Amino acid sequence: MAAKSRGLGKGLDSLIPVGKVGVESSAKKESKEEKGPVTIVNINKVEPNREQPRRQFDEDKLLELADSLKKFGILEPLIVKDRKKYLEIVAGERRWRAAKLAGLKEVPVIKKDLTEQEIVEIALIENLQREDLNDIEEALAYKRLIEEFHLKQEELAERVSKTRSVIANSLRLLKLTEEVQKMIIDEKISAGHARALIMVEDPKQQIELAERVFDERLNVRDTEKLVKELGKEKKEKQKKEIDAALKAIYEKMEEKLKAQLGTKVSVVPKENGVGKIEIEFYSHDEFDRIISHIK
């Protein structure tokens, strides 16, 4: 699957230090910088953010990072918020998880007094920078920022350095059925495939097409073509159903007019609702009778 474009969130560097800080020297570097002092804390006092947008962590990559931490320690401190009873991770959950796997007893942290909105934004931006979120996690994070903190799409786009169209396209993925969203998370289909499938309104059909895309290894263009053909078939089916319904109405009206006028009447439909009504007569007297009846 193609890699997602990298998003560099605005304002993140003012909250998260981008410089590398070694574990051994970090305790001595309780600097007077705006970033805040680095402190060493017991790893058991640190807990992940339950509202963190990222839900899945690659176990193999975590093990690789754990091996690195055993040799070099944590080179970049975690950003945390002091919740009194514990320290909540704002940025760095992956490092924290790997540190636990590595058997580390302590981790370097920087405590920040952040609002709930800033916590969500930082967690989202950090993952976007590292390309750690799958497309559904990213869309859910955008949705939360919009709904919970009443941000408009334009405001959100500015805060995470994305275009409004990127935000809108991401949010559209949440219109898909849960089964298809799960296929995106499991990397069975890409977001490009999924956006083509959004056009399929029937949930069952949407799932069936997604499974076909996966089974037949269809590319995005083939998927779009498949959905387009399906749309044509749907329109043709609807047209046939409408034509059949109209035919029944016309036939009923023919019988009604025949009974009222006492002669054969034909309703002749054409395209786009156009047509004509033919009334037959077989003598001048019958013509006069029909005209008198109509008048």
> Catalytic positions, please?
93
Using an 8 Å Cβ cutoff, are 112 and 88 in contact? no
Spell out the residues 6+ positions from residue 241 whose beta carbon is closer than 8 angstroms to its own: none
Closest CA to 98 of 123, 73, 71, 65: 65
* Coil, strand or helix at 57: coil
The letter for the amino acid at 112 is K
Cα separation, 7 vs 9, whole angstroms: 6
Cα separation, 148 vs 167, whole angstroms: 16
Cα separation, 193 vs 190, whole angstroms: 5
The sign of the dihedral angle between the CA atoms of 79, 84, 96, 22 is positive
- Which pair of structure tokens corresponds to residue 125? 């931006």
- Which pair of structure tokens corresponds to residue 179? 């089964």
Cα separation, 83 vs 184, whole angstroms: 34
Spell out the residues 6+ positions from residue 47 whose beta carbon is closer than 8 angstroms to its own: 86, 87, 88, 89
Alpha helices (H) along the chain? 23-26, 59-72, 93-102, 116-130, 135-148, 153-159, 164-172, 178-185, 191-197, 203-215, 220-261, 284-294
